[in-house]
Structure 1
Amino acid sequence: MVTSGQEGDPFADAMREAVGTSVQAWRLMMAVADAVRQQRRRQRQKGKGEELPPAGKAVNEFARVIRNLLPPDISAALVGGSDWPMMAQQMAALRRAGVDPDDVLPRLAEVAVTVRDSLAENAARVSREGTGEWERMLRETLPAGPVREAILSSPTWPDIAATMARLDERGVDVRQILASAYNVGVGVDQAVARVLGADEAPVASRDAMLSYGPLTTGLDLPRDLDLSDRERALRQLAVSPWENQRYTRWMLEAMSGREREAGLLLAARQWPLLAARMAQMEGEDKPVREHLAHLLKDTSWEQGPGPQLGSRLVQATNDALRRPLGEAGTARAKVNPTAARSQSVSLNPTQRQATAKSTAPAESGAAPHRQASGPTPNRKKTR
């Protein structure tokens, strides 16, 4: 059973995420089973509408079944979900269609438990070996890009972290070793790119070019930024899953009572950039949550067309994070006109790309926002 743990504890967060994923796996398998049942029913009874069994009886009956089949953490998350009544009806419908729950549900339970355990394995190992701190050192020492992303996404990361811990215990400068390893990694990446026929110095991605401006000033922006893949984008921007969960919680707290607007903001394509800004502020020991409180003190983002509300919220959040706490609510971050034109809907994609390229400095292989050299300060938790 998963214990609640302290708020912000990476291991506890990892276990909660693993349980949530196992519940999603169960829901997916149930959806597939129900789809098959409905397809067979349509073939047999064309033109007849479907009536699911009553929810009340099914909810209580199958809740007992689920609690007997699954560990307490998964069963509690499953039965406590808002879609549980409908899922119980689906199980009852399967039984009414001739499917034996005692045959199907144990197989679903086995998969759900396997998913939970496999996701939690690495987090448990890192926590047990005390190597969690090395992920932070890696993110602070190496610049964002394919080398750092490859290390953190590798299945061997726990072994790498454990090696770093052992070297540190023996008095080795681990940061210096990482810097050397980074140079080796860059060489390997370029060599493989040549073999594959790729350019040695690829042009900045469309997401990177369109992000140049107030939203990313001062951030370590990777040239191959991919905002279409949120998990990868967060890795590229050096925001760990635990940090992202924390920033999501802070945003919901800051927008208390405005859940719809908070949802639009969290679903925005640019959310990883805002999370990276918060991570940077934590590293500088700035009170992130106090800055976020500006969002409900200055609600000028409400003004404008409804479809653009999410975009205005992204800009307003970035303004709130960059604005000094003592500054008046009407102040706004200065806009780079050239960068703004590169994002204008009045320009076609080719024109925007050319405009965005013209804003980049002529430095080989360096993103325009890498303004500082050397390791970034340690990130501290904002209380």
Structure 2
Amino acid sequence: MATPQEPFAEAVGEAVQTAVMSVRLAMAIADAVRRHQQRQKNGAEEELSASEQAKADAQKAMKGVLPPDISMALMADADWPQMAQQLMALKQAGADLEQLLPRVGEIAVTVRDQVAANQSRVAKEGTGEWERMLRETLPAGPVREAILSSPTWPDIAATMAKLDESGIDVRQILAAAHDEGLGVDQAVAKVLAAGQVPTMSRDALLSYGPLSDGIDIPRNLDLDDRARALNQLSISPQENARYARMLKEALPEHAREADLAVTAKQWPLVAARMAKMESEQLPLALHLAGLRKDTSWAQGPGSQVGSRLVQATNHVLRHPPGEAPPAVRPAVSTAAARSQSSTVGPSKAQAVKGAASAEPGVAAYRQQSGPSARQGRAR
């Protein structure tokens, strides 16, 4: 049974994690500018400093800049070693950290307080349950993402509560409004793109196959933005952290490899599969134990171990516990490569896949033109 303090603690934690995302974004932008300048001037980027030394130096530079809650969450984040290297590279390139870091700190505090205030208002009005209904009723995509990220979300949730009190079927209204929202999204996109119809994102196109088989992938999936990708796939920061922890617990002797898998670009797809399985009450831990049975993912170039572990994790999740066959790592297939190409439209890609029937386990991308009932997904 949840104590009265648990929802409050969860809300505070989410506000802090959102603040950490804002710090990561600010650092990534600053680092991109540094890299661009060095390429323009020297024709190449300067190498990053050693990770352990960078972490120590960055921690010293950050001392007193951020509030303790944001600072602790930032340094516990899986991306902290890379961020520390970026920070030290900025210093070596001539950036004044004494000027930069306080401004980044102000951004983080503002974001944290805004998120906390928004969550506090929702909780006070008793409308927190409506986010769960929204995620269960509407498919992942631009409409749901727009609603949940809107500053007017508390007002929308309050309206849903009032309709429910009046005996109105809120789910039915949401389903109908979703179709209207798609129409608005497409109309606005046409104007912004000078008449061009929005196309499938490259990440969504490249996610064809075992990684996307059976899970709901939005057409505009953006794996380059970790926070946005998780939101598009309906994975909260708390859920993502829990799934990452489950992977580490399944591989106690491979903590470093598990960290690399969690930070890999395609990890959100694995997290989405774990969420779906959890909603279906499937034994995730038993599935993940299969990674210890077949450790072929550990063989190969160290730079690719995170990606291999992502593929291996997806492999054991898609088979009954203990029954996953040894992972097959085939040579590159020209037909499969062509079907993954961003220059091939969805219908053509699926046609190529149909022709390449020798490749097992590759499923066509599941499109959803309207809302579908999602059963058992609790939040």
Q: In which range does the TM-score fall when normalised by the shorter chain?
A: 0.5 to 0.7
User: Residues 24 and 233 (structure 1 numbering): CA distance in 2 closer, same or farther, change over 3 Å?
Assistant: closer
Q: State, as a whole percentage, how many aligned pairs show the same letter.
A: 55
Are residue 167 (structure 1) and residue 163 (structure 2) matched? yes
Match of 2:372 in 1: 374
Query: Which one-letter code corresponds to 2:196 in the other structure?
Result: D
Cα distance in structure 1, aligned partners of 2:312 and 2:69: 38
User: Residues 359 and 135 (structure 1 numbering): CA distance in 2 closer, same or farther, change over 3 Å?
Assistant: farther
Match of 1:185 in 2: 181
Query: Which one-letter code corresponds to 1:356 in the other structure?
Result: A
Q: Give me the TM-score of the superposition, normalised by structure 1.
A: 0.67
Cα distance in structure 2, aligned partners of 1:115 and 1:191: 31
Q: Which moved more, 1:267-276 or 1:225-234?
A: 225-234
Cα distance in structure 2, aligned partners of 1:75 and 1:349: 40
Query: Which one-letter code corresponds to 2:144 in the other structure?
Result: R
Q: Which moved more, 1:71-80 or 1:139-148?
A: 71-80
Deviation at 1:289, TM superposition (A): 2.8
Instruction: For residues 145-171 of structure 1, give each alpha carbon's deviation from its aligned partner in whole angstroms, at most 9, with x where no partner exists.
Output: 211111111111122122212222222
Are residue 134 (structure 1) and residue 130 (structure 2) matched? yes
Structure 2 stretches lacking a partner, 5+ long: 32-55, 89-97, 355-363
Deviation at 1:199, TM superposition (A): 3.3
Deviation at 1:185, TM superposition (A): 0.8
Specify which of 107, 111, 114 is matched with residue 118 of structure 1: 114
Match of 2:349 in 1: 356
User: Residues 237 and 116 (structure 1 numbering): CA distance in 2 closer, same or farther, change over 3 Å?
Assistant: closer
Deviation at 1:218, TM superposition (A): 0.9
Q: Residues 8 and 246 of structure 1 are in contact (CA less than 8 Å); yes or no, is this contact kept in structure 2?
A: no
Q: Residues 210 and 342 of structure 1 are in contact (CA less than 8 Å); yes or no, is this contact kept in structure 2?
A: no
Match of 1:48 in 2: none
Q: Residues 175 and 371 of structure 2 are in contact (CA less than 8 Å); yes or no, is this contact kept in structure 1?
A: no
Query: Which one-letter code corresponds to 1:287 in the other structure?
Result: P
Q: Residues 142 and 182 of structure 1 are in contact (CA less than 8 Å); yes or no, is this contact kept in structure 2?
A: yes
Are residue 247 (structure 1) and residue 240 (structure 2) matched? no
Deviation at 1:211, TM superposition (A): 0.7
Match of 1:311 in 2: 307
Cα distance in structure 2, aligned partners of 1:128 and 1:72: 26
Query: Which one-letter code corresponds to 2:10 in the other structure?
Result: P
Structure 1 stretches lacking a partner, 5+ long: 32-54, 91-100, 362-366
* Structural mapping, 1:1-383, within 5 Å: 6=6, 10-17=10-17, 20=20, 73=69, 113-196=109-192, 197-200=194-197, 202-327=198-323, 330=326, 340-342=336-338, 350=343, 356=349, 358=351, 368-370=365-367, 374-380=372-378
Deviation at 1:338, TM superposition (A): 8.6
User: Residues 188 and 301 (structure 1 numbering): CA distance in 2 closer, same or farther, change over 3 Å?
Assistant: same
Match of 2:53 in 1: none
Q: Residues 250 and 289 of structure 2 are in contact (CA less than 8 Å); yes or no, is this contact kept in structure 1?
A: yes
Cα distance in structure 2, aligned partners of 1:283 and 1:305: 35
Q: Residues 277 and 284 of structure 2 are in contact (CA less than 8 Å); yes or no, is this contact kept in structure 1?
A: yes
User: Residues 125 and 315 (structure 1 numbering): CA distance in 2 closer, same or farther, change over 3 Å?
Assistant: same
Q: Residues 141 and 374 of structure 1 are in contact (CA less than 8 Å); yes or no, is this contact kept in structure 2?
A: yes
Query: Which one-letter code corresponds to 1:284 in the other structure?
Result: E
> How many residues get paired?
319
The structure with the largest alpha-carbon Rg is 1
Cα distance in structure 1, aligned partners of 2:6 and 2:136: 25
Instruction: For residues 97-119 of structure 1, give each alpha carbon's deviation from its aligned partner in whole angstroms, at most 9, with x where no partner exists.
Output: xxxx9xx9999987765443223
